[in-house]
């Protein structure tokens, strides 16, 4: 049984993903420190943060809303990572794409389940 947001596998995976992104972006050029790196850090942190905040809300509708926000942040991170690949800052084989896809699938499944439960 899920007692806390920390028990949610999607939150755990989002935290691992954030850590991975933080570690990889350290290798970006110094001139990106206040550009792409800052943007990436803010967006990737908001994924598990929104999951946690939504889990702490009182209603299923609120939780679903925050999961949708987390998914939006995940899309933002994916776009920024794609730009980093195009600019040559990141290898496309870093595994981040696979991680993001797994998290996206989990978020989508949770959102769908919550929407179904609201129809009852």
Centroid of chain to Cα 31: 25
Mean pLDDT of 28-42: 94
With cut-offs at 50, 70 and 90, classify the pLDDT of residue 33. Answer: confident
Is residue 119 predicted with pLDDT exceeding 80?
Answer: no
Give the pair of three-digit tokens for residue 83.
Answer: 């730009």
The CATH architecture of the domain made up of 5-118 is Up-down Bundle (1.20)
Residue 39 burial (10 A CB sphere; 0-12, 13-18, 19+): middle
Is residue 34 predicted with pLDDT exceeding 70?
Answer: yes
* Strand, helix or coil for residue 95: coil
With cut-offs at 50, 70 and 90, classify the pLDDT of residue 58. Answer: confident
Residues 6+ apart with CB under 8 A from 22: 41, 44
Residue 1 burial (10 A CB sphere; 0-12, 13-18, 19+): exposed
Mean pLDDT of 89-105: 92
Mean pLDDT of 48-61: 95
- pTM equals 0.93
Is residue 120 predicted with pLDDT exceeding 70?
Answer: no
Is residue 4 predicted with pLDDT exceeding 70?
Answer: yes
| pLDDT for res 1 | 66
- Percent of the chain whose pLDDT exceeds 90: 88
Average pLDDT of the residues of the chain: 94
Q: Domain residues of the chain, as ranges?
A: 5-118
* Strand, helix or coil for residue 21: helix
């Amino acid at each position: 049984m899920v007692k806390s947001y920390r028990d949610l596998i999607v939150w755990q995976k989002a935290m691992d993903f954030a850590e991975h992104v933080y570690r990889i972006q350290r290798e970006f050029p110094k001139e990106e420190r206040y550009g792409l790196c800052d943007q990436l850090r803010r967006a990737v942190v908001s994924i598990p943060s929104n999951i946690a905040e939504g889990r702490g809300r009182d209603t299923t509708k609120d939780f679903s809303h925050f999961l949708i926000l987390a998914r939006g942040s995940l899309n933002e991170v994916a776009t920024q990572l794609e730009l980093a690949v195009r600019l040559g800052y990141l290898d496309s084989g870093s595994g981040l794409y696979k991680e993001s896809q797994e998290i996206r699938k989990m978020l989508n499944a949770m959102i769908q389940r919550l929407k179904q439960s609201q129809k009852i």
